[in-house]
Amino acid sequence: MPRTSPVPFLLRLSAVLALALTATLLTAGAAGAAQVRGAENVVVAADEVVDDDLYVTGGSVVVDGTVRGDLLAAAGTVTINGTVEGDLMAAAQTVVIEGTVGDDARVAGQVLSLGEQARVADDLVTAGYSLETRPGTEIGGDVLLGAYQALLAGTVDGDVTAGATALALAGTIGGNVQANVGSSAEAGPAWAPMTEVAVPRVDPGLTLTDAARLEGDLSYRSRTEAAIAPGSEIAGEVTYEQVAIEEDPVGPTGPLALLIEGLRLFITLFVVGMLALWLVPRTMTGAAGVLRTRPWLSLGWGALAVAGTVVAVIAVLVGSILLAVGLGWTTLAGLAAAVVTTGVVLDLVLVLGLVLAVALLAPVVVGYTAVGLLLRDRAPAGYGRRVLALVLGLLVYVLLRAVPYLGPVVALLVALSGLGALAVWIWDAARRARASRRAERDQSGHTGSGHAAPAGPPQGLPSQGRPFPGPPPRPPWAGENTGRQIPPENRH
């Protein structure tokens, strides 16, 4: 990605907006003064006054009246024709401001348009595809934007900090302008979202029209110089930092590239396999045994494991958000952030575990098992034979992965089969461990009660539901010989 690309700036700005919106939602209940509305179309009529904060969701939100507190809106379209005396926080496809915002405006969406009568008393923070402030728009504070394009034709009393592919200044800026902009060489194909609001066309790079008035300094980074019209006025200094695009080094192509990629994959899987044979040999041999004896079961459980992990990730995320929102509406709002953080960390652990198991452990298990079958040594006893089976199995897997069309199919089958074998073996091992602990508890319950065991039946006769107090009785076919005898029905 080019260094002048606005994408990193946009991602950081979007994260800030998301955190601000989330924090506001989670702590809303602590204040206890808010109205919550939700419908397909939500309208605050022109003669309506909302004395509290307003939290609203819907297909479209229109504010023609007055909101004396903050407005937090999540909708397809948000239109402000009236007055919001507090902050405006909106996430929507289209946000149109024709009225007044008494404090800050923080907006995330595809298109943000401020009309000729729009007034934002303090800062404007926005992230999206397009930002347009028309002539007559007044912003009393700073502008912080991350977008594909932006056209600032109104008045900004403070500074402008921008990251965009296309930025045009056609109004009055009372402070400094600091921008990181792209160029025509970096811009991709022209694209504009389908909205009811007209989206202006802004040329890539930085442009200052004849109507531009900058009372501070202009500092920008780009691959090309800005297009500054002769009629524009810049009271301060102009600083231009030319940034060259770092081209990615050209690597090998053709068979050599396939060879290098296969070698990297082989070395990675071999290191993982050696560590597995050294640290968890029972897991390796146990999963291999499951795959040998129950291949179709392993394949099915692999698919279920992937689907179950995805469902678990979604369930944890949704559950943590709902729990955090519930805490936010109570007096336990301080726990909301901890709940969300715990849910995110747990999701990361689940996803990371699934990726490592599918990409690394599954090919090792399948390769080790398959070559063991080819060598007619299903369970190599010596460490050297295990390593040999691992090396040959990984070599076969890497070669099959390099075959066009066949490689992706092999990778999918290997990932699901290996993952399923690991899941089945872990489940069986856990079940055996539970059975063993249960048996130990039952045995300790009979012998460790601290009292003498009641007199049972004579030695050699079984009691009802109790273990033999002495050696078990000898079966009739055992004879007088003290050695191990074979029952009559098993002699043939």
Confidence check: pLDDT of 398 > 70: yes
Mean pLDDT of 397-418: 88
Phi and psi based region of residue 267 (left: phi greater than 0; alpha: psi -120 to 50; beta: remaining): alpha
Inform me whether the pLDDT recorded for 187 exceeds 80. Answer: no
- The band of 185, judged by pLDDT with boundaries at 50, 70 and 90, is low
* 287 Cβ neighbours under 8 A, 6+ residues apart: 365, 369, 418, 421, 422, 424, 425
The answer to whether the beta carbons of residues 336 and 322 sit under 8 Å apart is: no
pLDDT for 464 beyond 80: no
Q: What is the pLDDT of residue 270?
A: 87
Tokens of 320: 């943590």
d(CA 212, CA 201): 17
Both tokens of 242, joined, read 């030319």
- Reported as a single tens digit per residue, the pLDDT across 194-241 is 677 888 889 899 999 999 999 999 999 998 899 999 999 999 999 999
Return d(Cα 50, Cα 56) in angstroms, integer.
12
CB 139 within 8 A of CB 121: no
391 or 325: whose pLDDT is higher? 391
What integer pLDDT is reported at residue 2 of this predicted model?
42
Residues contacting 112, CB < 8 A, separation 6+: 94, 95, 96, 97, 126, 128, 130, 131, 132
**Entry pTM:** 0.52
pLDDT of residue 458: 45
| Local confidence band at 485 (pLDDT 50, 70, 90 cut-offs) | very low
Residues 442-454 pLDDT 10s? 887 665 554 444 4
Which of 91, 85, 77, 84 has the alpha carbon at shortest distance from 22?
91
How far apart CA 411 and CA 398 sit, in angstroms, is 9
Tally of CA atoms within 13 A in the half-sphere of 96 that contains its CB: 17
How many CA within 13 A on the CB side of residue 335? 10
- Please state the length of the chain: 492
**CA–CA separation, 422 vs 354, rounded Å?**
12
pLDDT given for residue 381 in this prediction:
60
Task: Express each pLDDT in 26-81 by its tens digit.
Answer: 444 444 457 888 888 999 999 999 998 999 988 899 999 999 999 999 888 999 99
Residues 121, 102: contact at Cβ < 8 Å? yes
Q: Is the pLDDT of residue 483 over 70?
A: no
- Rounded alpha-carbon distances, angstroms, from residue 42 to 22, 62, 78: 21, 6, 10
Is the pLDDT reported for residue 372 higher than 70? no
pLDDT at 327 > cutoff 80? no
In SS3 terms, the chain reads as: CCCCCCHHHHHHHHHHHHHHHHHHHHCHHHHCCEEEEEEEEEEECCCCEECCEEEEEEEEEEECCEECCCEEEEEEEEEECCEECCCEEEEEEEEEECCEECCCEEEEEEEEEECCCCEECCCEEEEEEEEEECCCCEECCCEEEEEEEEEECCEECCCEEEEEEEEEECCEECCCEEEEECCCCCCCCCCCCCCCCCCCCCCCEEEECCCCEECCCEEEEECCCCEECCCCEECCCEEEEECCCCCCCCCCCCHHHHHHHHHHHHHHHHHHHHHHHHHCHHHHHHHHHHHHHCHHHHHHHHHHHHHHHHHHHHHHHHHHHHHHHHHHCCCCHHHHHHHHHHHHHHHHHHHHHHHHHHHHHHHHHHHHHHHHHHCCCCCCCCHHHHHHHHHHHHHHHHHHHCCCCHHHHHHHHHHHHHHHHHHHHHHHHHHHHHHHHHHHHHHHHHHCCCCCCCCCCCCCCCECCECCCCCCCCCHHHCCCCCCCCCHHHCC
Q: How confident is the model at residue 82 (pLDDT cuts 50, 70, 90)?
A: very high
Using alpha carbons, select from 200, 183, 203 the residue that is nearest to residue 192: 200
Closest by CA to 23, choosing from 322, 319, 316, 325, is 325
Whether the per-residue pLDDT at 97 is higher than 50: the answer is: yes
Q: Which amino acid is at 318?
A: V
Sign of the Cα pseudo-torsion (259, 264, 270, 273, in order): negative
